[in-house]
Chains A and B, each alone.
Chain A
Amino acid sequence: MNRQIRQLAVGLMACYVVLFVALNYWQVGRKQELDARFDNTRAVLREFNKPRGPIVTSDGIVAAVSFPAAPGELYEFRREYPTGDLLSDVTGYFTFAFGSTQVEREYGDVLTGSTTEQQVRSLGDLLGGDVDAAGSVELALRHDAQSAAKFLLAGREGSITVIEPATGAIRAMYSNPTYDPNTFVNADFEVAQEIITELQEAPGNPLLAQAYQERYMPGSTFKVITTGIGLEEGVLTLDTVFPDERQWVPPQTTDPIQNYNGSLCGGDLATVFARSCNIPFAKTAVELGPEAMVSGTEAWGIDEELPIDLPRPAASTFGDTGSLDQELPLLAIRGFGQSETQMVPLHMAMVAGTVANGGRMMEPYAVEATYDSADRVLDRTTPELWKTPISPTTAAIETGLMIGVAERGTASCCIALNGGIPVAAKTGTAELGVPSNPDLSHAWIVAFAPADAPQYAVSVVLTNVQSTADVAATGGRLAGPIAKGMLDYLLTGPGAQPTPAAPSGSLPEGSGG
């Protein structure tokens, strides 16, 4: 029988060799093909079932957090957004089937603890018994400022952006329409799909963070840029005087350009800036010429994606600049922010911030710092200079011009701050020129305060507002009070900081920065 037993041993051995070969076939040979199959959800599931750290505002309010799901739930963790729609423009959302956006997307590695640094650190922590490597993200945004912005906007379509001119830190960035990620992130596939599709097709695109992912015709707020270029190029000085005119015919055309409402407008630079005459800035743009104007706008960061630390930022545009020397009338119109000129609301806040910051345009940032699972700093945002479009002298001149707007000009109705804090501003009313609805416009204001020691720069835009026979939908009248409310809240209201904001916030003890 021993011979048979040996044969049996060989036979059984052969069986297991077959299994071993088959195992190699599936786990190594066809691995790539199987992993890539569309119905193979392992890779996505693994990512989704990792613990995910919280996103917290700079004043300590949790904007996104994960909880272990109850047994029997679809996924191992529930992602919740306690602030609802308040911060969804910045946090974004994180879903299993529909990807992720904003901070959830850009900082996904930190939140799941997958960055190399976190992996290395958690390796050390393994001995200490803590291997939950999930990191956390601290926003530069303040929950209270964001709430104030939402309150001031009062449901109207548009956005409010508040930055610190000296650092570029975004302290508030809220826009309507928006959405609440809680409605779909933990839902079944079909339900989530339905809600997301509905949001994608909704008017105003609620899923976009309009404040940095959308651009609008800036109207007269653009004159800050045109004036800046003119002053830098020597085409304008404080002594430049423009004649009182109702209309002006630019070269290469017979169609005249008019001031707002066809009014008579002229005077020295301070006067035409405060009254927001159109013709002087059209003339300035033409006098500068296409080349200087285009390179000037580029110096302000136009035609470049904003260097924000969030995904898919929009770029402001001066329109098609290919044949502007053949289209001087267009150049003239764009010079005061009409026609194809389009600005991102955040960019306009940065423009005001540049004037406030002595001509230095800082890179905007929404994330203050990232932390590992043990709350040790992984990375703290250091303010970075992006552009220097104007000299400190020019900035000082423009500050004076903008104070004039607030004190005697188009914003004087509405921007005077509580406690007499000096403020600088520029209004804009972008006429959209829709033939069927000529009174439709965007109402803008950019401002910063205190004008003598700027702490905050604000841009407010109310989009698609309608003028009526009685009330003109102007930036000063509509957006002005919102900017005032925001600045009052931040400077003298409940949101006032005890000390002026330090350049990079307070450093936690022991951090390497």
Chain B
Amino acid sequence: MYPMKYAMTQDSGGTTTSSNQQNMQQMSAQWAEIIGQLFDRLTGKGASVTYTFDNLVVDIPRAAGPNGRELGSAQWTINGKVVITAEAHKTEETMQGTASVSTAA
């Protein structure tokens, strides 16, 4: 639920490489901004976020593999917990942040 400021457009083939590069750079900067905001929020609150998956069934569609070989579809059932915590460590010259992820089935 963070502000989505990225450009949701695609070119139809008539654009130059430089404008594509500019779009890519712009998009990267915007994603970096979103990640930065998320990190600030987590570290600011010293937060831990727990994702608990309870019988989440994901249908993986049939896909084409190398040489057009058809790969079978699959159904994944996900159970368990993912805990993400973040903390900031102040060093002599810079402020560094670390994040850790732990999982539990």
Do A and B originate from a single complex?
no
Using a CB–CB distance below 8 Å, which chain B residues touch chain A? none
Using a CB–CB distance below 8 Å, which chain A residues touch chain B? none
